[in-house]
């Protein structure tokens, strides 16, 4: 029976979905013992899931699936990455979206900035082109 990865309510079932969640992971280099190649639309049993999660620095429990135990930093970053607009204007929004107290969100923002995973920058109103404040942006991973 194949196992999936569950992280923050998102279920990852295939190598393609894993690469979408973590673009910096090259699944072709993470093969499970006995595999010489992968089908990106097939199950995760082709991959060394333990090795991948350990490399990413996640703690997890293995039961029916791999349940990732996320730190506050990881929850905040995952929520920021999930937004199509690509930015967050305030701590209140992130606290509400993650269920983490605002003080803890502020500490996570500080930590993520220090790690170089996010940055703050100006936000402009699309209609007028005028400055509309400042927001946090997630740095894009490149392969």
Does residue 117 sit in the same domain as residue 99? yes
Q: How far is the C-alpha of 70 from the C-alpha of 35, rounded, in Å? A: 29
Mean pLDDT of 111-135: 84
Mean pLDDT of 136-141: 75
Q: What residues make up the domain containing 128?
A: 72-138
Q: How far is the C-alpha of 39 from the C-alpha of 47, rounded, in Å? A: 10
Q: Quote the pTM value.
A: 0.60
Gyration radius of the chain over CA positions: 17
Q: Is residue 86 part of a domain?
A: yes
What's the pLDDT at 84? 62
Does residue 38 sit in the same domain as residue 54? yes
Residue at a domain's end among 20, 38, 69: 69
What's the pLDDT at 14? 93
């Amino acid at each position: 029976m194949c196992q999936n990865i569950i992280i923050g309510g998102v279920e990852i079932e295939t190598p393609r979905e894993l690469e979408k969640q973590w673009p910096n992971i090259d699944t072709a280099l993470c093969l499970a013992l006995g595999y010489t190649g992968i089908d990106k639309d097939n199950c995760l049993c082709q991959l060394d899931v333990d090795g991948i999660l350990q490399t990413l620095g996640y703690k997890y429990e293995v039961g029916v699936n791999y349940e990732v135990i996320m730190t506050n930093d990881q929850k905040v970053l995952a929520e920021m990455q999930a937004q199509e607009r690509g930015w967050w204007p305030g701590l209140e929004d992130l606290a509400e979206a993650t269920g983490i107290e605002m003080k803890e969100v502020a500490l996570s923002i500080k930590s993520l900035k220090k790690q170089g995973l996010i940055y703050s920058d100006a936000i402009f109103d699309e209609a007028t082109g005028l400055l509309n404040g400042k927001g946090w942006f997630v740095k894009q991973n490149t392969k």
